[in-house]
Structure 1
Amino acid sequence: MEKFKRIFQNANYVKLFFANFTSQMGSTIGLTAFMFYLLDRFSEQPFYATLTELMFSVPTLAVFFLVGVFADRMDRQKIAYYCDWISSLLSIVLLLTVIIGWMPLIFAVLFLRSAIQKFFFPAEHAMIQGILKNEDYTTAAGLNQVVMSLFMLFGNGLGIFVYWTMGVYGAIMTDALTFIISALLIRSCRIPEEVRLPNGGHKLKDLNIALVFKDFNLGMKYILKHRLLSALLVGFFVFGVVNGGFSIMPIFMLKYKLDPHAYEEYSVLLGITFGIGVLIGSVAASLLAQKFKLYQLIIAGLLLSGSFIIAASFAESTFIFLSLLFAAAFGLPLVNIAIGGWMPSIVDPKMMGRVQGWISPLMMLSQSLTLGFIAVSFPGLLKVEMLYWMVGGCLALVGVFYSLMLPGLTKKSEKRSEAHSSEQTGAV
């Protein structure tokens, strides 16, 4: 409790925390409402719902070589601020395209808005790394996981509620409003210059193609040089497969197998069940992080969640399905909190943007490939149960891979850190 109190006494962290919260809330409400709008309007064409999720992930592949370089070379606070404002304006444009009703234009605006939002997280994450102390990273990761669990708990339900009461137009306007609130919170922060501009001041005209690709390659070399970071990156690629599949397969399970006539109502219950599982798991993970090594939590969480996701594919009733997903949700925070608290402590603050610039595209590449595969193969080639085998199997395989790799790499990393500390002490 003392750790939570300490980081919430940091005014900049509080503002960035709530800016991230409001920005995510708007995206969650709008995306959920829009997906149900498409499922209602094109009930026999689940392709459109999958394509909506695809428009959230594919843009990363168009801007991945820019986001990390921008976060390390440009003013991080201004990047996050302008991302929110531009996203708000594009939400209004999206509303107009939905009124027009031309699907290619709608998906084009979704693509553009998502591309702009990809610049937000590396800049915001790098600022948080700079304003917190090393011992506060795991606490901050735990708080982020609690926020994610609240979105899982209330996000889908809130999105559906807004859709039912205000329609898809009201949901999109809610998007625009939350982006504006987030932008105002970011603008009110007083971030030190060394955190905003860790590599000195640069203007947009300074970021020519040569510098962009030089910095992007520098990020790759930095990752490859650190084997522990490289091993974690393998996991992130597989997490993209999980994110892609899990963004749509619970709704598909309800709509096309368990309860086609009441899938919207059960989707609300699913969100509540999954959110409670993640929320309880977040509290447990925050406590366990003080008693176990972080890599042990990662391995346990992956194996636990993977096993229960595979088991969920065999559920013959909605109650059993929800119970198994609750158990799977409990294991996910063990992974997210451990990695979220670990990454800032092993990455140089001057390189955080460029490292994030590699993590996000790897995840989104695998997420996009997964969604694209589902779009063309479901329900023609794939049964809904097979989606659960694919996602659960990926989690379990990464758990086995990490159990073989992380213990040894962690020991080597700790020895290097101790040797580096000894050298610094000797120099003093």
Structure 2
Amino acid sequence: MKKFADIFRNGSFTKLFLANFTSQMGSTIGLTAFMFYLLDRFSSQPVYATVTELMYSLPMLAVFFMIGVFADRMDRQKIAVYCDYISAGLSLALIAAIFVGWMPLVFAVLFFRSAIQKFFFPAEHGMVQGILKKEDYTTAAGLNQLVMSLFMLFGNGLGVLAYWSIGIYGAILIDTISFIISALLIQKAEVSMEARLPNGPHKLKDLNIKMVLKDFKLGFSYVLSSKLLFTLIIGFFIFGIVNGGFSVMPIFILKYKLAPESYEQYSIVIGLVFGIGVLIGSFVASLLSQKVKLYHLISAGLLISGSSTALASLPNNIYLFLGILFISALALPLINVGIGGWLPSIIDPKMMGRVQGLISPLTMLSQSLTLAFIAYSFPVLLTIEMLYWIVGGCLVLVGIFYMIALPKLADGTNAGVEQTAAESGV
């Protein structure tokens, strides 16, 4: 807890952390409220709810090659501020589009707002790297994990509550206010020019297609040239598999095995149990990260979470299943905090945006492939138990691989990564 208190004495970090929190809060509340609005108004057309999810994820495919380049070549502070202000304006446009009632316009606004928001996080992560000491990176990763777990636990509930109490327009207005608050916080943060412009000043007109593609390729080459960095980023591919699996597996095991008659009610309980497990695990991971090597933390998280996921397929008693699922959720933050705390210390600040710009599409790719695999194979080829074995087995195998590979790769890596960046002409 002392580490948390110490890091918040850094006023610039506190402002960026709160900005990140409010920006995520706006997105979560508004999107959840909009989903319920669609289910209420178009109850006979559930496809609209699916399209809404696509409007949140598809924009990444349109902008993934640009977001990291912009974060490395343009002023990171201005990018984050403009993202929030533009998102606030598009939230107001969304209110107008819903009032008009023309759904293609509504989905177009959602698409553009989501695309703009994708530029926020690489820029914000790059600034955080520039204002913290290396020994504070794991604490910051732990705090980010806490925020994620809080939104996992309460985000949807806040969205539903906002929709029920102040309606769809009021919920999206909360979006707007949240984005504005986030922008104001970032504007007031004192960030050095070195952290804002690690590669020197550039103008928007400088970023032509040729330069963007060249920089994206350079970021890709940078990751491949560092064995440790490449190995750690494999972890985000695994996160995508876990996210894809866990987005449907708990509902499937309830409906087809544990509670066919009451699976909807128990799905709420699963969300609470999983969210509480991740929340407690975030505290534990933050404390352990100060006492043990990060590669031990990551390997332990993968092994515990993977074996628990596989074991969760066995019980016929729902309460025993929830207990095993809780253990799996408890271990997941060990992985996230370990990798999230390690990456900033080995990535050259000049390349941080481009590396972050590769992580999100990689995670989305593995998540989409996992969902496609499940849609194709279940229940025709695979049973629900087999799905748990596959996802759990993937985690265990990567845990064993990391246990063997990471300690060797960790030795002398920082110097190697910095030299790689210099040789690349970054």
TM-score by length of 2: 0.87
Name the structure 2 match of 1:93: 93
Residue 190 of structure 2 aligns to a residue whose secondary structure is coil
Name the structure 1 match of 2:116: 116
CA distance in 1, matches of 2:48, 2:384: 17
- Call closer, same or farther: CA 1:328–1:379 in 2, change over 3 Å: same
Name the structure 2 match of 1:322: 322
C-alpha displacement of 1:26: 1.8
Report which stretch shifted further, 170-179 or 292-301. Answer: 170-179
Name the structure 1 match of 2:310: 310
- Structure 2 gaps, min length 5: 421-426
C-alpha displacement of 1:325: 2.4
- Call closer, same or farther: CA 1:221–1:91 in 2, change over 3 Å: same
Name the structure 2 match of 1:192: 192
Name the structure 2 match of 1:423: none
C-alpha displacement of 1:265: 5.3
Name the structure 2 match of 1:136: 136
Asked if the contact 1:156/1:268 (under 8 Å) is kept, the reply is no
CA RMSD of aligned residues (A): 3.2
- Deviation string, structure 1 residues 25-76 (Cα, Å, up to 9, x no partner): 1222233334445566677877655554343333212111111110011010
C-alpha displacement of 1:138: 0.9
- Call closer, same or farther: CA 1:328–1:160 in 2, change over 3 Å: farther
Residue 291 of structure 1 aligns to a residue whose secondary structure is coil
> Are positions 1:213 and 2:213 aligned together?
yes
Name the structure 2 match of 1:357: 357
CA distance in 1, matches of 2:65, 2:418: 34
Report which stretch shifted further, 306-315 or 76-85. Answer: 306-315
Report which stretch shifted further, 146-155 or 12-21. Answer: 146-155
> Are positions 1:281 and 2:242 aligned together?
no
Name the structure 1 match of 2:367: 367
Q: 2:62 is matched by which residue type in structure 1?
A: A
Percent identity, please.
68
Matches for 1:30-179 after TM superposition, within 5 Å: 30-37=30-37, 49-99=49-99, 104-179=104-179
Name the structure 1 match of 2:27: 27
CA distance in 1, matches of 2:159, 2:251: 14
Asked if the contact 1:79/1:123 (under 8 Å) is kept, the reply is yes
Asked if the contact 1:92/1:173 (under 8 Å) is kept, the reply is yes
Q: 1:120 is matched by which residue type in structure 2?
A: F
Name the structure 2 match of 1:413: 413
C-alpha displacement of 1:364: 2.0
> Are positions 1:226 and 2:226 aligned together?
yes
CA distance in 1, matches of 2:39, 2:318: 20
Q: 2:30 is matched by which residue type in structure 1?
A: G
Report which stretch shifted further, 101-110 or 321-330. Answer: 101-110
Name the structure 2 match of 1:343: 343
Asked if the contact 1:239/1:395 (under 8 Å) is kept, the reply is no
Asked if the contact 2:314/2:385 (under 8 Å) is kept, the reply is yes
C-alpha displacement of 1:258: 5.5
Q: 1:366 is matched by which residue type in structure 2?
A: S
C-alpha displacement of 1:114: 1.6
Name the structure 2 match of 1:424: none
Q: 2:109 is matched by which residue type in structure 1?
A: V
C-alpha displacement of 1:127: 0.2
CA distance in 2, matches of 1:197, 1:204: 13
- Call closer, same or farther: CA 1:321–1:30 in 2, change over 3 Å: farther
CA distance in 1, matches of 2:249, 2:95: 27
C-alpha displacement of 1:230: 1.0
C-alpha displacement of 1:161: 2.5
Asked if the contact 2:226/2:417 (under 8 Å) is kept, the reply is no
CA distance in 1, matches of 2:407, 2:77: 37
